[in-house]
Amino acid sequence: MASSIFKKVLSETNEFERTPVPASELKSGNSFLGMYAGEHTAGTEFVIGPLFVAHGVTAGDLIFGLLIGNLLAVFSWALITAPIATKKRLTLYYQLERIVGNRLVAGYNLVNALMFCFLAGSMIAVSATAVGIPFGLEMPTLTDWMPRTSGWVITVILMGSVITLVAIQGYSYVARFANLMAPWMILIFIGAGLIGLSQLGVNSWDSLFKISNEVIWTGIPLEGMSKFTIWHIIFFAWFCNMAMHIGMSDLTILRYARSWKYGFLSFAGMYIGHFFAWIASGILYSVFLQANSSSSAFAPGEIAFQTAGIAGAVCVIVAGWTTANPTIYRAGLALQGIFPKTSTWKITAIVGGITSLAACFPALVMKLLDFVALYGLLLMPMGAVIFADFYFSKRFGFQAEQALANQRHFSIPAFLAWILTLVICLGLNQFYGIEVFFLGLPGWFIAVFIFVGLSKFYYSSSKLKLV
């Protein structure tokens, strides 16, 4: 009986993969507040905050860099992504298909889905580092390529199964889960940070200033780590979610918004998650370093547990869930664009299986965080294509939604904009030493310029068309 009811619910789930979201399905602002607060108060926050400490950022550079960078990220969601999302109300994948053709978008969707799978897998793995604490599970280290124990594999698979069961039931369930867990996680982050400051000896404003600069964010990188400046913080905060905003992935989420102004609600993720959570996790890491000065190990669960006890460990687990849920959901919709006749829940279940399998291999998923900027850069040019098609097609006299209008399958202007942008960014990195953190901004303008120029050229010539 329960099985038949569950199957009925799944069969009736409609995520409007190839049609605009109807007015009756639009969500309130609370859904987006919870979604962004939950997704960006996540397992990655337990890693990124400590990385700033390890890279020797100063306290002043961190605070001002996060204030500026996160504000730029909010503006990117609100002014670039949300207006297109609420005008078209289509998923990223179907909107892109209408512009670049189904053959090109199939390749993009595959890359996108794989990136999301590995990102979600890293969240499962980070969360799993907390599970072993109360249950005595032997945890793998960040240098392990293969899982050490069957217990680790079982834990990861079980966690992945729970996350997938939530994701396959659609956006409403994903948002509901985030809304339920986000307030508690935020309180744990803030509480753990305050406890950590107390353990470091902070008992006044003067001691807070002194310990922040001399103990936590000292400006001196750990051995083997590069030095971070305020510019690293600004651009990382702005572009660590590059794929979501200027890369247009959140068209899929914001198409449910009643108004484009809901894009500003991303502040809940940027200033609760990426501001307070990164600061709090940096404090926790400093406490860990003080107590384990001879240890080079890093396990988010242990770090949180050392300061906040079981509540901190549980927070690591749940924080991973609230990021993995929408990430698996996005990956499922990406593959849905390749296999449109397969139901969304089946695709999402497959994605969950791939994600859980990837999470079993510690080095593969835990080190993925080093490549967050790279995966965003990889997907960003197609977001620039969508932006240029939406705003510049009439102004520069080329056909909007070229593939749909001409019944073609492959857009040469979009393909070259994607590939040439990545080649140019690689050249800037290799020959001019520009770090990956700083490539997103020039790369976006390069992609827009190439796509607009080639689209106008191709549609002003009788010899060159979409193929």
CA-closest candidate to residue 245, choices 257, 254, 256, 233: 254
- Give a yes or no: residue 94 inside a domain: yes
CATH code where residue 320 lies: 1.10.4160.10
pTM of the predicted structure, to 2 decimals: 0.85
**pLDDT score for 365:** 60
Q: Is 57 exposed, middle or buried (0-12, 13-18, 19+ CB in 10 A)?
A: buried
Does any domain span residue 84? yes
Joined tokens for residue 65: 């860099």
Q: Are 235 and 53 in contact (CB under 8 A)?
A: no
Rounded to whole angstroms, the Cα distance separating 441 from 285 reads: 31
Taking the C-alpha atoms of residue 194 and residue 142, their distance in angstroms, rounded to an integer, is 28
What is the tens place of the pLDDT at every residue in 2-52? 444 434 444 445 678 788 999 988 998 988 987 788 778 777 788 889 889
Domain count, the chain: 1
- Residues 378 and 321: their CA atoms lie apart, in Å, by 25
Residue 315 pLDDT = 84
Taking Cα atoms as reference points, which of 419, 405, 430, 362 lies closest to residue 104? 419
8 A C-beta contact, residue 101 and residue 466: yes
The reported pLDDT for the residue numbered 234 is 97
Provide the b/e sequence for 400-414 (b: ≥16 CB within 10 Å). Answer: bbbbeeeebbbbbbb
Q: For residues 367 and 360, what is the distance between their CA atoms, to the nearest angstrom?
A: 13
Specify if 382 maps to a domain. Answer: no
Q: What are the start-end ranges of the E strands in 139-294?
A: none
Left, alpha or beta for 27 (phi > 0: left; psi -120 to 50: alpha)? beta
Residue 144 domain flag: yes
Sign of the dihedral defined by the CA atoms of residues 8, 10, 15, 16, in that order = negative
User: Is residue 453 one of the residues assigned to a domain?
Assistant: no
Residues constituting the chain: 467
- In terms of C-beta density within 10 A (0-12 exposed, 13-18 middle, 19 or more buried), how is residue 84 classed? buried
The amino acid at residue 245 is: H
Mutual angle of helices 300-336 and 29-39, in 10-degree steps: 130
Task: Please give the Cα distance from 108 to 121 (Å, whole number).
Answer: 20
Does residue 445 fall inside a structural domain?
A: no
Residue 73 resides in a domain? yes
Instruction: Give the integer Cα–Cα distance in Å for 433 and 452.
Output: 28
> What whole-number distance in Å separates Cα of residue 321 and Cα of residue 304?
16
CA pair distance 326, 244, nearest whole angstrom: 12
Compute the distance between CA of residue 52 and CA of residue 221 in angstroms, rounded to an integer. 9
For the stretch 410-446, pLDDT in tens is: 999 999 999 999 999 999 999 999 999 899 999 999 9
Residue 400 lies in a domain: no
Quote the pLDDT of residue 213: 95
Residue 143's domain comprises 24-370
Residue matched to tokens 């006749």? 341
User: Which residue is associated with the tokens 């890369």?
Assistant: 247
Of the candidates 374, 330, 323, 410, which has an alpha carbon nearest to the alpha carbon of residue 112?
330
Count of other CB atoms within 10 angstroms of residue 186: 20
Structure-token pair, residue 268 = 């809940």
Cα gap 304→140, rounded to integer Å: 17
Sign for the pseudo-dihedral over CA of 426, 431, 436, 441: negative
pLDDT in tens, the chain (467 residues): 444 443 444 444 567 878 899 998 899 898 898 778 877 877 778 888 988 998 899 999 999 999 999 999 999 999 999 999 999 999 888 999 999 999 998 899 888 888 888 888 888 888 888 877 767 777 766 567 788 788 888 888 888 888 788 777 766 666 666 667 777 888 888 899 999 999 999 999 999 999 999 999 999 998 778 899 999 999 999 999 999 999 998 998 899 999 999 999 999 999 988 999 999 999 999 998 888 775 666 678 888 888 888 888 888 888 777 777 777 877 887 787 678 778 777 888 888 899 888 888 876 666 655 678 888 999 999 999 999 999 999 899 898 998 998 888 999 999 999 999 999 999 999 999 999 989 999 999 999 999 999 998 886 544 444 44
Instruction: Give 103's DSSP letter.
Output: H
Q: How far apart are alpha carbons 51 and 388 in whole angstroms?
A: 35
Report the pLDDT value the prediction gives residue 382, as an integer from 0 to 100: 96
Euclidean distance between CA atoms 21 and 86, whole angstroms:
9
